[in-house]
Structure 1
């Protein structure tokens, strides 16, 4: 078992990484606590059962899987069910699943009765190394990704790498895009390790290292106003591409992979990135033009007074911020 402590502005929360953690979930939950277990309808029933059985009469709420459920309407439906079941402010939400589940359940937690506690139990690679860490929660609205949300850290994050064994190959690759991103912006050693080795042979190390990198950014800049923005490498184009195709053509990490390739100005660095992305079966290009993406980029939260903030790569392991006119 490994534990990483994340220092947020108002609290410190643990990220616990342990093979088989779900088999011992009772060690991390309080039988006297009221829980609301939120998950999508594609998560393995065995995971839901293990967590639910560790709780005393939890309220279990399922929603349709996919980015299209990350909406105000789904948020409202979950809140209605919680109110109908007389869920009080001292209850704790458990977000069991991937990035959409964590974003949505975390947003419910941040808004229900002006904020209740929540626990992240991420079951996808992307969620384990990225979206469950750092407290960003929210929903999509009006063709704009994550436009409604807040920074609301969880009570704890419980990572069981064994859950990745049931993850479809495409969804595993989806998470690899974010892991490769970490190497590109902050850790050449990680990038080279992913390039030269089979990630499955060093998976727990790679997960731990990725979380450590995310920790280093969010602790310095929790509110995403300075250095944390480097984590947005590939995300301006990535979010625009996701939205342009109505979340139907690409998963988040796939769109970010294309976005990373598009923004890099150095040809040699771009070539190295493309090679590693292709190794992990990630897309590297799409025919959609910048003009077609522009309406979505203009709505991006990183857009400032006619300019958009992009993250580029100076050298593998070292990123910088630049702005471009649109």
Structure 2
């Protein structure tokens, strides 16, 4: 009888490595982690240095304006541009608001009316038109939108003279309406509003509101406009900044100095300072005050500004 023994476990020979063993990377060798770390720190330092230079260049005029507003006329001419002297800001502010029976305060109110209320109405009109271009289908839609884009390419300064002639024919020249009405037409605002509508307002939400019985005005007022709030604020800030710095349109339209906005009034004072040097200090202090509304608007609305700039970036 033959005995059968079970085969035992077989042992395989070890597989030799494919290549020579790698040595641990040494510090300082090219391509190692410390070198990459050094390169990253160098890149950050260069980028931060360039950003610091741009910030310094941006803040230098505002710093000079703030320092110069605290001086009197003698210190303004006898000291350095960034050198503080006797603090006379309160006296300069008093002289500013007393000049011409308080005409500077009236210029500020005119600017708030022109570029605050006017830009708010312009933003509302642009948002409604952009929403309509996005959510509605009608004949010649894209061709009409092409005309809007064509209006973006035309510089606003080119249109000032035709606008003045139209206002003169309608009897609106040298009135508040001659500045307010042109602000309502903003082709770039319509284009930007359509982009915001595509990014913020889904078509399904609009269709659901219509199925619930909401009319078209109710859809825009209760559904579209609340969802477009970040884009609305962003568009308002764009329009407000451009309009507040607008000089040419009021120069053509207005001849009564009591209707001037603050930018045009300060330009007249700056020109008068060549014959009357006291207007130089009034112009500097008035320029500082005219910057305050822009700063307040951006500080109060920066949350919406940041979210509006990222419209459509995340789907």
Greater percentage in helix: 2
Give the TM-score band, short-chain normalised.
under 0.3
Select the structure of larger CA radius of gyration.
2
The two structures have a TM-score, normalised by structure 2, of 0.22
Higher relative strand content:
1
